[in-house]
Structure 1
């Protein structure tokens, strides 16, 4: 079995290593941005990213999901650190939240993900794609007022994003704009059939070429045309360490004296519930994106996230969840197994230890181009057309989920989508449970499946359409369950039927016996 797994991972190294590099390039600024937005040390975001790649990837049952710090938790984290007045105290809550997630996993709470409709999951993906595009456009032209908001579909509304876009038009950077435009062109060309036919080019990720282009452009611009160069505030900013001792000093450890503070437990429960929901949503979405349609075990994922959060909290990291944007980047880059997530974790570790000063030359507009492409793939016009052709019962929950997420946040949008999806499920069941056909003065009323009290109004409507001096057959042979209210409605009709000279034959309604009701 072990040899089989090693063979599987080895076979896909040629896909997973380049994909891991792409995920690393996407994750790097997001780890820093989430930490900045959370009011935590920048390094805490990188720790969470490392733990997500190096530990959670192997503990998880998902081959493509990527874990790390989530922008959806930034407001909770910020408020928690502020209310506790201590980051080491907050780390205690992270450790406890991880322990609770581990308990959720053993209690098999992951089954809740099976109740998310497909239209809602795909609507969530499309909404995130649209938000990525809206949030990355300002950064693509050099307007980086809130880079930490790039993945923050949880807290930033569409209206604020539109305002940011309009403001960005007045502050276009002559350096960042050509970098992002050319980077985007490179990414588009790299997706073309021409490049895919060339074996050597196919092995090199387009994102890497886009990043190299940005670094080279800026280096040349600084020498030849400083006005067209990109300022340092629009470049990646990593903490630089010169030796292993300095690197170890970046870690923070929890202050367990905060176990006496009741607030810690409230924060831990909140983090555990929200992080688990985000993880399950992300996992469901990644399963939908997986070209091989593999299904990850949800309870194992909760356990993996629990282990990851306990470890992250113990060494100074932010809370971790499975994250859609990085997972989507992994799928789009051709990742095949969990090795790609592990490679991204290794690169995050190596970047901080050895290459921070070099990575600080990467323009953020390059990374914005990578995320713009990811956003487009999540919200392709083709996807909207597919749902249009599927019918209103699929299109409306899909569009409603997108609109609700854009106007509120991820969790509220998902709830709205599920409620609307549930309405269509009940509506479909309502009409499919009972059907009636007529031939002259003969009627056939069929109970097609389990019939509940929700179908009583429809049953009464059909029974009210039966004319006098006619024959009715009520066929319940296809049902396994008939609600008492339905049986009572039929009994009432049977008692009144002789007055209208209606002959009724009921099949398999009571104890699977055939009963005849007729007027002699």
Structure 2
């Protein structure tokens, strides 16, 4: 994004963007704290991420109305990194994770510099959605115990779900009541249709109600209370723990593990997931941008890289483009990057002026917020969507979830990709087809013919060549895929993306399918040759 454009946007949209930025700040405040705590990091790490994501990444990024900050989709990755690098010491694990983030930022920066941002489009979407649904289920499994004020014995997500019913009788009544009221507020506000009332951020109200109950029950002072003849603890450890001095919020990275395999494993995992989620979210936001602008994905990664490098040096969580906050940003009238900038600025002011308020936030209120976030990631509609797209996509989606829940995220991703490739190979795709694409034509006239299967691993070649045709000013582009024999779901989504990009550039794309037939009624379902 050009700085001249940013200056012009300031003149045109400053008033509306201040308002939208303030509303998003109200939404982001509890989420930044909650995501940070759920990740096993200091609460201020999430706030620093929101601040830097808004102030730095907005200026150097390539999007327009996207909100940057910590996201629930990275909770599992950060927990694993802290556990894996800390060797039993969570603070040491966090410091080593910060060191990993510095390199994540470097990798993202150079991915953008070398213009490889489009590669985020080619990863199998059923695996990505399965990964996100798994993360949602993992978040729920952990936060259910926080909601009732109980420490679990189990570690793996499936074990937590098995343990939870037997621990309900151990719940702390006051803590559970706070969480239950927060959950009720969040659910109730989803059905409110009154315009002015519906604009009040439900997560903020849930936290305010929680703070009021903390004061009422005196949970900020260690004490004991009786409930139906049983004694329970009311203690500040059920509240967010904030350092007494803001200087203590700045935590420096520990590079002592740089020479180990486990360090680079977690670095690459954070880089891969954070970059993929950012690019997918940015693409989704483009579709609802009222001014129909397109994100420069390479510049977006450069902005994220710079921000994540800085966050690694000062003690913040990694940032991505966050879809829910971005949608709220647009709904409240945002028109430019300044809304993201203002949202980060308001977070900074709050952290500097009102840090003591954060110490009164109950963990169970944040747990309620995160349980709802987890449910959205693993909502039933995701399962229905993949069922409608075709049984192949449903199998890949479910495989990713099952292996993630029972083993871990990396195994789940690899299992999902392996099953997808197995299904395609059984369907007649050859191994060499993954690495080659028979595509003839030239960028000048924009007429292309593809005579080999179009698959997730070779589809970037098609995207790159067609995009160059569009960039050269071709207004009429033809893609003949009648001899392709097989086009997978991810490639169909890329073709859909190409059509949208062409439309925004004033170009038209004609697609020739020949005898290729869709396997379901969904527009992006697999297409196969039907003789």
Partner residue in 1 for 2:356 = 357
- The answer on 1:114 being equivalent to 2:118 is no
For residues 189-248 of structure 1, what are the alpha-carbon distances to aligned partners after superposition, in whole Å with 9 as ceiling and x for unaligned? 2111xx32x23212211122222222222322339x95579532111111123xxxxx34
Query: Paired residues, what number?
Result: 414
Helix, strand or coil at the partner of 1:422: helix
Residue 69 of structure 2 corresponds to which residue in structure 1? Answer: 67
Shift of 1:330: 2.0
262 and 216 in structure 1: CA distance in 2 versus 1, 3 angstrom threshold? closer
Task: Single out whichever of 199-208 and 332-341 deviates more from structure 2.
Answer: 332-341
- Residues in 2 aligned to 1:99 and 1:449: alpha-carbon distance in whole angstroms: 36
1:284-306: CA deviations, max 9, x gaps?
54257548356644433332232
Judge conservation of contact 1:20–1:339 (CA < 8 Å) in 2.
no
User: TM-score scaled to structure 1, two decimals?
Assistant: 0.66
2:212 matches 1:216: yes
Match of 1:207 in 2: 203
Shift of 1:115: 1.4
1:152-301 map, 5 Å: 157-166=156-165, 168-192=167-191, 195-196=192-193, 198-222=194-218, 227=226, 230-241=234-245, 247-248=246-247, 250-253=249-252, 263=258, 269-270=264-265, 272-287=267-282, 290=285, 292-293=287-288, 296-301=295-300
| Cα deviation 1:37-91 (Å, max 9, x = unaligned) | xxxx765565445323432244333443533384413443555466998988886
Distance 1:28 1:343, change over 3 A: farther
1:99 maps to 2:95: no
CA offsets per residue over residues 330-382 of structure 1, 9 Å max, x none?
25756556666545544543344222222211211111221222222222223
Unaligned runs of 5+ in 1: 150-155, 242-246, 434-447, 455-476, 482-520
| CA pair 43-119 structure 1, distance change in 2 beyond 3 A | closer
The alignment partner of 1:238 has SS state of coil
Equivalence for 2:34: 29
Distance verdict in 2 for CA 1:253–1:283, change over 3 Å: closer
The CA distance in 2 between the partners of 1:248 and 1:333, in whole Å, is 32
Change (3 A) 1:209 1:419: same
Instruction: Tell me how far apart the structure 1 counterparts of residues 137 and 327 of structure 2 sit (CA, whole Å).
Output: 16
d(CA) in 1 for partners of 2:200 and 2:94? 41
2:141 aligns with 134
1:163 to partner: Cα distance: 4.7
- Which has the larger helix fraction? 1
Counterparts of 1:173 and 1:86 in 2: how far apart (Å)?
Answer: 30
The alignment's C-alpha RMSD in Å is: 4.2
Whether the 8 Å CA contact 1:121–1:285 is kept in 2: the answer is no
Q: 2-side partners of 1:450 and 1:416: how far apart?
A: 29
Hey, what does 1:52 align to over in structure 2? 53
Rg larger in structure = 1
**Which stretches in structure 2 are left out of the alignment for 5+ residues?**
228-232, 434-448, 456-480, 486-531
After superposition, residues 376-387 of structure 1 pair within 5 angstroms as: 376-387=375-386
Counterpart residue number, 1:123: 130
In 2, Cα distance between equivalents of 1:480 and 1:210: 53
Taking a change above 3 Å as real, the CA distance of residues 404 and 64 of structure 1, as seen in their structure-2 partners, is farther
